[in-house]
Amino acid sequence: MRLGAAAWGTKEDVATTPSTDQRFGLARHVVLPGPLLLDGGASFGPVEVAYETYGTPAPDASNAILICHALTGDQHVASTHPITGKPGWWTRMVGAGKPVDPARHFIVCANVLGSCLGSSGPASRAEDGQPYAMRFPVITIRDMVRAQALLLDHLGIRQLAAVVGGSMGGMQVLEWAATFPERVRAAVVIASAARHSAQNIAFHEVGRQAIMADPRWKAGDYYGAEPPAAGLAVARMAAHITYLSEAGLTEKFGRRLQSRDAKSFGFDADFQVESYLRHQGISFVDRFDANSYLYITRAMDYFDLAEEHGGRLANAFRGTRTRFCLVSFDSDWLYPTTESRSIVHALNAAGAPVSFVELSSPFGHDAFLLDVPELNRVVDGFIRAGEA
């Protein structure tokens, strides 16, 4: 399957009225007038936001929890993905009996600005009716959060009981707490960082170069034609290695061969790990837009919360009344524990209430999406403490 612009949620493809199929949450799509004043200086609008909700808002919407998704995530946090047909990406955290529970919470998850599942992004149509492609403005994590704030205004949610996210989702959580402190009672930041390191930037740059080196990329103007699937697949493969730990890869694959008894002495995927990576690359291109990958990785690389606040991270949280919970994983080498610890130090310096735990997991960065019961206990306890 090779998809052009039509697959990535231009206005025509996304219902503008709520779905009533509860298996799918309440899929919604709004066009907000904006305009958003972006960090890059541009004024952007109207702003399309695709989102899902689960549960019922309290009369004052005080039970609202915002879930922020990661680089290649989407609004389908706890409902079936419309393209892959797979379950929501965080059903271990969000759902009946989970830390974020539609029985108690009104849960909102929005596709981030720049993405490709219905919110405004490079695949969206500009005023001239053509996809923005690379005319889409370069955005930041703060711009994503500003768009989410517009959505909450639209939904009548003045203050969030909690904002919860892992990886790039955690960056948005930090940005929420820093930009709209009065709207966030509690912030849960998992496997994340307050800035992208040189190594983080380097891996993203490899991915972007892989996409841009694909002749089908055509400076971004590939909508309606074949997309740069090969380049995007390579980008995904490179990134995927960073989501796993060396020990996890060894445990999962080691040097085991794939469906054969001996090496082929050729260039097929002899090793299971090769086959796995190729699959990760190939399956990704059917659900994600290459230009969105460029824009969102750029936003992550630009992210440096301290820089936005005079070079001192503690300044980002000065006077905050938000409660913070930070979780890192000992085998995460993408956003290692040292990154979480430096956030905790800044929160301490700002006098903010913060709980922090490094969990042990063999799964590397991906642990935040996997079955780690201790993670659920930590988040559940933290959220319930705010409801007491």
Summarize as ranges the residues that interact with a copy of itself (CB under 8 A): 39-41, 134, 137-138, 195-199, 201-203, 205-206, 208-210, 212-215, 230-231, 233-234, 237-238, 241, 244, 246, 249-250, 252-255, 263, 265-267, 269, 271, 273-274, 277-278, 281, 294, 298, 301-302, 304, 307, 333
Of 266 and 373, which has the nearer Cβ to a copy of itself? 266
- Which of 197, 124, 135, 139 has its CA nearest to residue 172? 139
Shortest approach of a copy of itself to residue 10 CB, angstroms? Answer: 22
Distance of alpha carbon 3 from alpha carbon 224, whole angstroms = 8
Binding-site entries for substrate: 236, 366
> Which residue type, as a one-letter code, is found at position 113?
L
Shortest approach of a copy of itself to residue 316 CB, angstroms? Answer: 16
Shortest approach of a copy of itself to residue 135 CB, angstroms? Answer: 12
Q: Which of 79, 115, 124, 167 is catalytic?
A: 167
Query: Annotated catalytic, 301?
Result: no
Shortest approach of a copy of itself to residue 20 CB, angstroms? Answer: 41
For 31, the 3-state DSSP assignment is strand
Of 5 and 273, which has the nearer Cβ to a copy of itself? 273
Shortest approach of a copy of itself to residue 277 CB, angstroms? Answer: 6
Of 269 and 370, which has the nearer Cβ to a copy of itself? 269
Long-range contacts of the stretch 57-62 (C-beta < 8 A, 24+): 57/106, 57/155, 57/156, 57/157, 58/106, 60/158, 61/106, 61/155, 61/156, 61/157, 61/158, 61/159, 62/159, 62/161
Of 83 and 257, which has the nearer Cβ to a copy of itself? 257
Beta strand segments in the chain, E:
26-32, 36-37, 43-44, 47-54, 64-68, 106-110, 162-166, 186-190, 323-329, 354-359
Specify the pairing of strand 64-68 against strand 47-54.
unpaired
CA distances 90 to 49, 97, 109, 293, Å, are 20, 13, 11, 20
Of 13 and 358, which has the nearer Cβ to a copy of itself? 358
Of 210 and 314, which has the nearer Cβ to a copy of itself? 210
| DSSP character string of 173-238 | HHHHHHH-GGGBSEEEEES--SB--HHHHHHHHHHHHHHHHSGGGGGG--TTS---HHHHHHHHHH
Distance of alpha carbon 112 from alpha carbon 70, whole angstroms = 9
Burial of 41 (0-12, 13-18, 19+ CB in 10 A): exposed
Shortest approach of a copy of itself to residue 30 CB, angstroms? Answer: 26
Query: Annotated catalytic, 365?
Result: yes
Query: Annotated catalytic, 240?
Result: no
Distance of alpha carbon 332 from alpha carbon 329, whole angstroms = 5
Of 61 and 241, which has the nearer Cβ to a copy of itself? 241
Question: Residue 37: beta bridge partners?
Answer: 43
For the chain, the distance separating the N- and C-terminal CA atoms, rounded to the nearest angstrom, is 50
For 11, the 3-state DSSP assignment is helix
Shortest approach of a copy of itself to residue 145 CB, angstroms? Answer: 17
Q: Which of 120, 328, 332, 361 is catalytic?
A: 332
Phi, psi of 43 (to 5 degrees): -105, 120
Catalytic residues: 167, 332, 365
